[in-house]
């Protein structure tokens, strides 16, 4: 684990995304909230938030952070491709990039779980950091 004890406490934010590609039928079920297991968006939002708060339990050398906020938003990049964007913020000695990426990833996995009965070929792709602010390196954007 990296020693961050000498680093100043600063406000830090991060935005990450995951893309979920699926069949038209699965996309329609998501849009209409008729997926077999119920409203996938609500479930995925809660799962992503919970996952961000558990990042240090999932990633062995990640610092446990006082996560102040996690947000999950959904949009359609194409008729068959869902974009999940996660944001995370904290005031700490290290950043929340991994927390945002974990939130996006778990939200995407939850969408898969909620719709796998309709499409076993769902693809989760392009999990990546979009932006981070705060800390010594300042702002970074993809």
Active site residue 113: yes
Residue tagged active-site, from 32, 80, 113, 119: 113
Q: How many whole angstroms separate alpha carbon 98 and alpha carbon 112?
A: 21
3-state secondary structure the chain: CCCCCCCCCEEEEEEEEEEEECCHHHHHHHHHCCCCCCCHHHHHHHHHHHHHHCHHHHCCCCCCCCEEEEEEEEEEEECCEEEEEEEEEEEECCCCHHHHHHHHHHHHHHHHHHHCCCCCCCEEEEEEEEEEECCCCCCEEC
Residues noted as catalytic: 113
């Amino acid at each position: 684990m990296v020693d961050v004890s000498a680093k100043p406490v600063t406000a830090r934010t991060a935005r990450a995304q995951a893309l979920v590609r699926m069949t038209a039928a699965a996309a329609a079920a998501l849009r209409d909230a008729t997926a077999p297991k119920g409203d996938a968006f609500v479930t995925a939002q809660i799962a992503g938030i919970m996952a961000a708060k558990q990042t240090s339990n999932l990633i062995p050398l990640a610092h446990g952070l006082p996560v102040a906020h996690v947000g999950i938003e959904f949009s359609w990049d194409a008729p068959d491709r869902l974009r999940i964007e996660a944001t995370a913020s904290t005031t700490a000695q290290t950043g929340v990039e991994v927390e945002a990426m974990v939130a996006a990833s778990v939200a995407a996995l939850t969408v898969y779980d909620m719709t796998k009965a309709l499409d076993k070929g769902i693809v989760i792709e392009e999990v990546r950091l979009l932006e981070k602010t705060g800390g010594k390196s300042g702002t970074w954007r993809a």
